[in-house]
Structure 1
Amino acid sequence: MAIFLENCPQFAIAYFGALKAGAVNVCLNPMHKATELLHEFEDSGARFLVTSDPGWAVVAPIRDRTGLEAVAVTAYRDFLPTTPALPVPPSFLEPPGPRAGAEDFSVIARRATPLVAPKPRALGDTALLQYTSGTSGVPKGAEITHGNIVANCELQRLYIRFTEADVPLGVLPWFHITGMECQLNMMAYVGASLVALGRFELATCLDAIRRYRCTLTTLIATVNVAIVNWPRTSEYDLSSLRACFSGGAPVPAEIARRWEALTGYRLIEGYGLSETTAPTHINPPHRPKYGTVGVPLPLVDAKIVSLDDGRTELKPGESGEIVVRGPMIMKGYWRRPDATAEAIRDGWFYTGDIGRVDDEGYFVIEERKKDMIKASGYSVFPAEVEAIMYRHPAVAEVGVVGVPDPYRGEDVLGFVVLKPEARGAVTETQLVDWCRAEMSVYKAPRTIRFVDALPKTASGKILKRALREQGRARGDLT
């Protein structure tokens, strides 16, 4: 069953209801466009969909090209109080839109009858297909099992001392593995009350912590930056928080120090991927170390191996690929045995991230082996963006890279060689606008530069390092 929603009660109802019924969830990014959705509908074989009115507006035109048998549409406001205690996104208050060909989620909920019994599932059965892109540019579905989810929740519970008395703030998107596992699943696992926000809005986020006395939250680096840089943050009482975890991108040491000065406690960084059901590493809450992602969770093995042979374990301080194994590692990539065999070897998952371990056992992420871009905590793969951009009739060649951005971590920069007949007929701004209409906003290049040719190796491979250097030299996106 596919879920195409922003954070809302309907998401949790659909998510846990599907799992209890024995179905497999496919949680889709609510920023996706039709082209992106088509692949995930087709690849997953999704038969049912729960979405919002804005989501249905995207899906309805392509419904006949999918295998969807039934669609339930909800208005976000259906599950909101008449007067929300905190501001909500304007779209959450909009009335229902046209729903021809779909059913009303609220009507279904009202006429629902209790299940006779949940459909039994084994720990090794697939619970979730979590789509993550790759260097091929084609998103792959990571098969996350019930056992993966339970194992990670239990390890987090023990390590963080998460209890039913905690009040976590749920501001990360639940379609993303970090928000799903560290907030939605953990809330249910320990029986805590989750304060759910539809989207991140700075004042609303801080007011929610103050109003509901939140004790824990997990954020991404860009949110941490926004909070410490906002002049009014000190006006909010954040004393109820006992810990804030951060992931998705490295937190600059200066930001971490400013966070500690502002809140009185240290920021705790961690590390994980969709394929690992989120965290495999977390900084010890009693002794976090800035600039690292911490140490492996209990029952998790991690090491640094040589980039040359992928087997030789390196010494502390030496850089290589991070590989991990443990009970939260995915079963494999859905219908992709070759990709699975490449990623999981002898029980070890090869992360594709380059890092090192220090003499105290703390892991440091240095760079991404696969040229992945981390923009505002989201993973962006250049090959996927390039594949979409090549559909534009004016584009002859394109190279996409990430360049440093002080707020987003990295931003997407595209270098484009136009077809001869298109030169002078299309502008860089027009192409940026086209990209934003064809792909999720965080993937679309924020800046595009027209060039006469792309730097290449003798074999014809585009030199991404040279493009990144050009972007930095010209001050793009900085």
Structure 2
Amino acid sequence: MSLEKRPWCSHYPQEVPQTIDYPDHVLTDWLLQAANEYPEHTAIQFLGRSIPYQELLSHVYRLAHLWQKLGVKQGDRIGIMLPNTPQAVIGYFATLLLGAIVVQINPLYQEKELAHQLSDSGTEILLCLDLIYPRVKKVLPKTHLKTLLITSLKDYLPPLKSWLYPFMQKQPKIDYDESTLLLAKELEQVRDTPIQSPLPSNDSLAILQYTGGTTGLSKGAMLTHRNLVVNVRQIHAWCYRFQRGDIRILGVMPFFHVYGMTTVMNFAIYLAGTMILVPKFEPLQLLRAIHRYHPNVFPGAPTIYASLLRHPQVNKYDLSSIQACISGSAPLDRELQDQFEALTGGILTEGYGLTEASPVTHINLIWDRKRSHTIGLPLPDTDCRVVDPETGTELMPGQQGELHVKGPQVMKGYWNQPGETKSALRDGWLATGDIVKMDESGYFEVVDRKKDMIITNGYNVFPREVEEVLLQHEAVEEAAVIGVPDLKRGELIRAVVVPVQGKAIAEKDLEHFCRQHLAAYKIPRQIEFRSQLPKSAIGKVLRRVMKEEALRTIEPK
């Protein structure tokens, strides 16, 4: 594509190439290389335990041998339902080493979504935490599962913490038999020698990564080794100052989400870096981890950065090791950005991606001080266009339309969903469902989700625009806007607001405030106050959940 079609390339730093030569690697190549070159370098830091690369590879070999013992072959799907723990990393690479396919499952999922993903993917083996075993057991009849492999947080804790763990955490009763196995016990019975198995090809499936379900039932995005390898190389080209063996990444973004999997786990292994794993997000524990382990890279979400800034003990901890933070999953507020940079001395910048693109497609410049309230520029080898959502006509800079993305990081399609695949992939272009606009320089700004658009009295209203106004009010901590059915207007605009702690606010005050900043048809007709908003595991506000809740309260006329 010409520079005229890729205006963003002229704004790349000189260190960032417009195109990259991608070797024919699979993800496990990076682990083998890191263990060979940096055998004693710490791969994982987990609640006080350090695991060097050679030891990590040994555990991966053991689990791969166990998978073989259980009959796993190329193309089989293995579910991993774990928080950020060493077992999550080991299970991931052991599965890929055999040419099998990882199915990442959110351990917070309840029975409906869990049964759907296990059944839809055809997963026959599941590696899961002992604490969630009761939930998994309930859905077994609805799935194809043949083997459960149970692990515990204590399995990879330092000795004292491991000994204390059973006294601190109530353990569920688990009936172990030939189909329900204890990981620690089984690994004692297998070798840690290199695995003998035909290696997968670069174009073979590595992951079935289910979409977050923010707009409906989740779909399995088929991501190949090449998709994931390419995206890590693209990110590293952008983050060119980070060198092999020198990176320490804070792993609070969950690996069961593609953002954490790519920007923490895959990125760290590629650079033979250290992952500082945080199994559960708690602000105080996160502050302590930064203070003790000195990460220099911190992928996160705005809600995470904001929670650290607001913590009453934040000034007791040294956060100066942080050099770069890439924020995703939600819009990054400029004031939050400035405050967090002042606190840490590092750089906080916004990026953009989606599950179907492995996931990163755009990032703002990191070390260039040009500031933009956008999602940034497309990564190398990533083509983007803005089209009219109805006609598909490509639009000019400054016009709002749907973002389409094309690049080697884009998925093969949706698992067992040819209709959905055809709708999302059009001549190689991925229709993202996000409404954006691009300026003359190639910077992209997200306006809103196409599916979240509200039609009231014939007018189109994007929730994000109304939310941004509400968030300007000094007494509003968080806000989300949805449309609810209305016989007269088609849809009513409802705002769900979380007030700032200790500040009183009335519905009429917010209505008056909105009238000063919005057209009359964009003003919320209903305002609901809550103590918190429903969010996904990575901090994304779930408008769909609020809309479903609202629909249940509407009585039939």
What TM-score comes out, normalization by structure 1 length?
0.78
Is it true that 1:355 corresponds to 2:436 in the alignment? yes
Q: Partners of 1:359 and 1:308 in 2: how far apart?
A: 23
How far off its partner does 1:151 sit? 0.3
- Which deviates the most, 50-59 or 97-106? 97-106
Partner of 2:159, secondary structure, is: coil
State the alpha-carbon separation in 1 of the partners of residues 167 and 227 from structure 2. 34
Match of 1:476 in 2: 529
2:261 maps to: 180
Give the direction of change, closer, same or farther, for the CA distance of 1:90–1:368 in structure 2 (3 Å limit). Answer: farther
Residue 464 (structure 1) shift: 6.2
Residue matched to 1:104: 182
Q: 1:300 is matched by which residue type in structure 2? A: T
Alpha-carbon distance between aligned partners in 2 of 1:464 and 1:105, rounded to the nearest angstrom: 52
Kindly state the Cα deviation for residue 35 of structure 1 after the two structures are TM-superposed.
1.4
Q: Which residue number corresponds to residue 360 of structure 2?
A: 279
1:155 aligns with 2:234: yes
Task: Give me the whole-angstrom Cα distance separating, in 2, the residues matched to 1:258 and 1:90.
Answer: 40
Summarize the Cα distance change of 1:411–1:465 in structure 2 as closer, same or farther, 3 Å threshold: closer
SS of 1:354's partner is strand
Residues in 2 aligned to 1:91 and 1:414: alpha-carbon distance in whole angstroms: 48
**1:458-473 equivalent positions in 2, closer than 5 A:** 463=491, 465=493, 473=526
Match of 1:302 in 2: 384
Map 1:413-452 onto structure 2 (within 5 A).
none
Q: How does 1:243-254 map to 2 (within 5 A)?
A: 243-254=324-335
CA contact 2:494–2:527 (8 Å) conserved in 1: no
Is the contact between residue 211 and residue 221 of structure 2 (CA under 8 Å) also seen in structure 1? yes
Q: 2:154 maps to which residue? A: 77
Q: What amino acid does structure 1 have at the position aligned with 2:121?
A: S
Distance 1:168 1:130, change over 3 A: same
Gaps of 5+ in 2: 1-77, 455-462, 497-521, 532-557
Whether the 8 Å CA contact 1:77–1:92 is kept in 2: the answer is no
The 10-residue stretch of structure 1 (63-72 or 364-373) with the greater mean CA deviation from structure 2:
364-373
Q: Who is 1:329 aligned against? A: 410
- Counterpart of 1:370 in structure 2 is 451
Q: Percent of aligned positions with the same letter in both sequences? A: 35
Q: Does structure 1 residue 43 correspond to structure 2 residue 74?
A: no
Cα displacement (A) at 1:207: 1.8
* TM-aligned CA distance change 1:67 to 1:193, over 3 Å: same
Q: Which SS does the other structure have where 1:67 is aligned?
A: coil
RMSD: 2.9
Deviation at 1:39, TM superposition (A): 0.8
1:430 match:
none
**In the TM superposition, what whole-angstrom CA distance separates every residue of 1:268-303 from its partner, at most 9, and x where no partner exists?**
110000001111101111235342111011111112
Is 1:23 paired with 2:100? yes
Partner residue, 1:446: none
Contact (CA 8 Å) 2:483, 2:492: kept in 1 or not?
no
Letter paired with 1:109: L
Partner of 1:205: 286
User: CA 1:189 to 1:235, structure 2 compared with 1: closer, same or farther past 3 Å?
Assistant: same
Question: Within 5 A, what are the aligned runs for 1:366-405?
Answer: 366-371=447-452, 404=467
Deviation at residue 75 of structure 1 after TM alignment: 1.4
CA contact (8 A) 1:47 1:70 kept: yes
2:174 is the counterpart of 1:143: no
Structure 1 residue 291 and structure 2 residue 322: aligned? no
Q: CA deviation at 1:234?
A: 2.6
- Structure-2 separation of matches of 1:414 and 1:68: 39
Quick one: structure 1 residues 273 and 408, their matched pair in 2 at CA, closer, same or farther if it must change by over 3 Å?
Answer: farther
Q: Distance in 2 between matches of 1:253 and 1:194?
A: 28
Q: Which residue of 1 aligns with 2:135?
A: 58
Change (3 A) 1:317 1:51: same
**Residue number in structure 2 paired with 1:455:** 486
Query: Shift of residue 97 of structure 1?
Result: 3.5
Distance in structure 2 (CA, Å) of the matches to 1:3 and 1:305 = 37
Q: What residue in structure 2 maps to residue 429 of structure 1?
A: none
Gap change, CA 1:63 and 1:100, over 3 Å in 2: farther
Residue of structure 1 aligned with 2:207, choices 93, 111, 128: 128
1:77-123: CA deviation from partner (whole Å, max 9, x where unpaired):
111113459xx999985546323441001112222223542432112
User: Distance in 2 between the 1:108 and 1:203 partners?
Assistant: 35
Q: Secondary structure at the match of 2:390?
A: coil
Report if the CA contact (8 A) 1:73-1:105 is conserved: yes
Residue 7 (structure 1) aligned with residue 88 (structure 2): no
Say whether the 8 Å CA contact 2:353–2:361 is kept in structure 1. Answer: yes
